[in-house]
Copies of this chain bind each other. A is one copy, B any other.
């Protein structure tokens, strides 16, 4: 099948491109930057195996050009987004432009051209819902979105549904829960797993907020499940994808200390963070049932593998006892 991945240089996007290629699909990807890897190509050249093209989804002309030049696509995975709540508070101009105007552009093209879409939402749309996060919760209860990032994601879900109702577009929405793994480079706004690991590897202090509980999903598990969507595509469905094992942020931090051999004195502890959901407990039943989701990496193992990847990428050495691992 012919698949386009937007945000193809992002953590999840890269994983999708690789996995889909391994499964024999023809994959195109786009992202904000020029790049010159093995798949890079220029719209002006006529290479045999084009793969990546620079395109800002918030610029309709650029996006339309990708579809005109390389389409039609069977599926579009819309991973392109400004990510994270504090990133969204600090860079809200880009947040709204990319996530909401960009996605609306894509929906307009979908209404015109009829491809199927897999759109990436976030567990943030559950706000501070205190109970089990089942996919139907935001349709049944008034959820107050706690930050602009969450608002963009919920907006996207409503845009997708209104378009499905008005134009019959076919989209599956994925609500990702804290996914981490090799491929996630450090930035101050990245996942807590990534940030702790980076700090640990560089001897930098980090802060653990007490009273928050999360699941963590190893990237490869998430990617496998995401790629399965094309084999059982049910338009209009919304899926949580996340791990089945809850942990506190303290436990995550401990796993990072373990995997990196970092000094526990680097860690300081604070009370609950504002505008942040305290406990995220998800119902993953539907993604297991429909998409064959499996969590095959324990937190300890996933963190160990990610630490190893990150140490290599940043040229930092790990203590010998931390380098072992089961895969």
A interface residues (Cβ-Cβ under 8 A, vs B):
92-93, 96-97, 100-101, 104, 138-148, 151, 155, 158-159, 161-162, 166, 274-275
Q: Indicate which residue in B155, B166, B274, B275 contacts A155 across the interface (CB closer than 8 Å).
A: B155
Instruction: From known contacts A96-B101, A101-B93, infer whether A138 and B142 are also in contact, taking CB-CB under 8 Å.
Output: yes
Q: For the complex, what is the distance from the CA of A162 to the CA of B149, rounded to whole Å? A: 12
Q: For the complex, what is the distance from the CA of A151 to the CA of B162, rounded to whole Å? A: 11
Instruction: From known contacts A92-B101, A96-B100, infer whether A158 and B144 are also in contact, taking CB-CB under 8 Å.
Output: yes
CB distance from A10 to the nearest CB of B (A): 22
- Residues on B with beta carbons closer than 8 Å to the beta carbon of A92: 101, 104
- Contact (Cβ within 8 A) B142 A162: no
- Contact (Cβ within 8 A) B96 A162: no
CB distance from A43 to the nearest CB of B (A): 23
Interface of A is mostly: helix
Nearest 3 pairs between A and B by C-beta? A151-B155, A92-B104, A96-B100
Q: For the complex, what is the distance from the CA of A92 to the CA of B140, rounded to whole Å? A: 27
- Contact (Cβ within 8 A) B142 A104: no
Q: For the complex, what is the distance from the CA of A104 to the CA of B94, rounded to whole Å? A: 12
- Residues on B with beta carbons closer than 8 Å to the beta carbon of A145: 155, 158
Instruction: From known contacts A92-B104, A96-B101, A275-B166, infer whether A151 and B142 are also in contact, taking CB-CB under 8 Å.
Output: no
Instruction: From known contacts A142-B140, A158-B151, infer whether A166 and B101 are also in contact, taking CB-CB under 8 Å.
Output: no
CB distance from A276 to the nearest CB of B (A): 12
Q: Indicate which residue in B101, B143, B275 contacts A142 across the interface (CB closer than 8 Å).
A: B143
- Residues on B with beta carbons closer than 8 Å to the beta carbon of A104: 92, 96, 148
Kindly list 5 other residue pairs between chains A and B, CB separation below 8 angstroms, not including A96-B104, A139-B144, A146-B162: A92-B101, A96-B97, A139-B142, A140-B142, A151-B159
CB distance from A277 to the nearest CB of B (A): 14
CB distance from A291 to the nearest CB of B (A): 25
Q: For the complex, what is the distance from the CA of A138 to the CA of B155, rounded to whole Å? A: 15
Q: For the complex, what is the distance from the CA of A275 to the CA of B165, rounded to whole Å? A: 9
Q: List 29 A-B contacts (CB under 8 A).
A: A92-B101, A92-B104, A93-B101, A96-B97, A96-B100, A96-B101, A96-B104, A97-B97, A97-B101, A100-B100, A104-B148, A138-B142, A139-B142, A139-B144, A140-B142, A141-B142, A142-B143, A144-B158, A145-B155, A145-B158, A146-B162, A147-B162, A148-B155, A148-B159, A151-B155, A151-B159, A155-B155, A162-B275, A166-B274
Nearest B-chain residue to A92, judged by Cβ: B104
CB distance from A152 to the nearest CB of B (A): 9
CB distance from A34 to the nearest CB of B (A): 24
CB distance from A157 to the nearest CB of B (A): 10
- Residues on B with beta carbons closer than 8 Å to the beta carbon of A155: 145, 148, 151, 155
Q: For the complex, what is the distance from the CA of A203 to the CA of B188, rounded to whole Å? A: 61
